[in-house]
Amino acid sequence: MPDNKEQKKNETIKPSPKTPSASAKTQTESKDTEPVKPADEPKKSTGPAKEGSTDKKEKNSSTVEKNPSELSGVVSDAEKKTDKQTTAQKEATTADVKKPTEIAKIEGISKSPIKEADPKATAEKTAKSTPITSSPTPQAKEPAKDPVKGVKITQIFADRLDKPDEKALKSLPIPKDGEGFSIRLHPDYFYDFLDHPFSINREVADYKDLYDSIKLNGINEPVKARPRDGGGLELLSGHRRHDIAKQLNYPVPVVIVQMDDDSARIEVVDGNLHRQDIPTSELARAAKMKMEALARKAGRRSKMEQLTNPAKRTDQIVAEDMGMSRNQVNRLIRIDSLVPELKKQVDDKKLPFNTAVELSFLKPEEQNNVLDFMKKEEVVPSLMQATELKEASRAAQAAEKIALKPGNKTLSAVPTPSDKKFSPIDEKKIASIVKPRAEPEQKYTFTSSELKEYFPKEYIPTVSEVKRKVFDALDFQKKAMERSKARQLEKAEAKAK
């Protein structure tokens, strides 16, 4: 028995040069219980700590304490008991912490504690998990493209701010097709485009605001112009900016381009449609000018081309650009067929638009006859009357064509001037259609109960007697007013003397 005890003691206690004290042992234990980060440990999450990290820490601690033989020195029996109690307490704590995880394992849930979904974290996770394609986007691969409409600036020239003479007007740089020259010039280098349909109204608020802005800041947006045959430049857009610069004697930044006549007409119209102060007659002329220019640029197309390669109608293109329907654009263009005075009445809102459209179908001399009648009688035709005048004019024109047709031997087919249906639109014809509005007659009624105070009792006057009494009273009042007026004139003359 003694030999066995001695053998067991020799197996348990190992010799060492030094035996550490209790305090040194405690420091060593606390140092060993700190969690050691392995080299391949993943990065920590910025969110709340997870149970998995605590579990690992406790496991490392308990593992160190379960192997006290690794510590150098001899451990007493009392210290062993203390170590066992401490180890048992920590294992119990670790077991309590592990319970939710173990339950989760049983139920097939993740080791991590359940948390509410964080939208930001979810979005980041989704973005990270989304595979990134190696092919570049078209925007990054393809270079920037020039727009369909626009000017490409190819050269920039030095300013010319002196007032130009004839030599200076003819020495301006002239670009080729597709080029754009940028330069700042004196306002006198510019001339209005020959077919410019718009006027400049300096009294509207929009113009005044633009004036104040240019006076303070100058012209920031360049105008557009093309070379002029006699020297200088023809303005295509920026007419109001140039007008203000001319008043202030400010330089005008310009982009000079080459442009044919029809393209220039379209450019002039498009550059002014945004204005809010355009009179109706000018808008009508602009729409007509653009439509005709588009038709010339498109050329005449055969029926086969129209079937195989259909294109938009010119009035449809103009309508879309102006924000109108085709019917509205075609009616608007009719205003350009009026004589100038009738156009002015449309612009001044004295002649209704629909009435003006109907009158536009009359010949110019017929329109002047209508205008003279309107001034003389101080009347404005209604829409129905204007439509009737249009039909009468068409009938007269049709009769005139038949009469002038060569080789027409059928005299019965030629209407005579006395025929009312085909008579020209003269003053008599206009008067028969556009009749002045007669004021409706007013009727006044008296009852016997209203008149009994002015006649003897139980006497019922006749209608003629009532009329005579009323007119006698009105005559008396009239004479009294005349006497009062005469006295006032005598007093005024006396004061004047």
What is the per-residue DSSP string for 412-458?
Answer: GGSPPTT-GGG----HHHHHHHSPPPPPPPP-----HHHHGGGS-TT
With tokens 């718009």, the residue in question is: 198
With tokens 């109204």, the residue in question is: 201
214 near 250, Cβ under 8 Å?
A: yes
Alpha carbon separation from 493 to 47, 186, 479, 485, 496 (Å, rounded): 106, 65, 21, 13, 5
For the chain, the domains span: 57-67+80-108, 150-259, 279-336, 338-437, 449-486
pLDDT at 163: 94
Strand order in the sheet with 252-256: 155-156, 181-185, 252-256, 223-227, 233-237, 190-191
In this structure, the number of other CB atoms found within 10 A of the CB of residue 292 comes to: 14
Q: Three-class SS of residue 237?
A: strand
pLDDT at 240: 93
Q: Which positions of the chain have pLDDT values less than 50?
A: 1-76, 78, 93-117, 119-123, 125-135, 411-415, 417-421
Residue 227 parent element (H or E): strand 223-227
Residue 156 parent element (H or E): strand 155-156
CATH of domain 150-259: 3.90.1530.10
Alpha helices per DSSP H over 34-67: 51-65
Alpha carbon separation from 470 to 94, 465, 477 (Å, rounded): 123, 9, 11
| Residue 213 CB-half CA count within 13 A | 11
Q: What are 467's two structure tokens? A: 């009329």
How does DSSP classify residue 133? P
Residues whose CB is less than 8 angstroms from the CB of residue 183 and which lie 6 or more positions away in sequence, other chains included: 156, 157, 158, 159, 160, 173, 253, 254, 256
pLDDT at 369: 92
pLDDT at 109: 39
Residues whose CB is less than 8 angstroms from the CB of residue 66 and which lie 6 or more positions away in sequence, other chains included: 87
In this structure, the number of other CB atoms found within 10 A of the CB of residue 410 comes to: 7
pTM (predicted TM-score): 0.53
Nearest CA-CA partner of 404 in 396, 178, 42, 261: 396
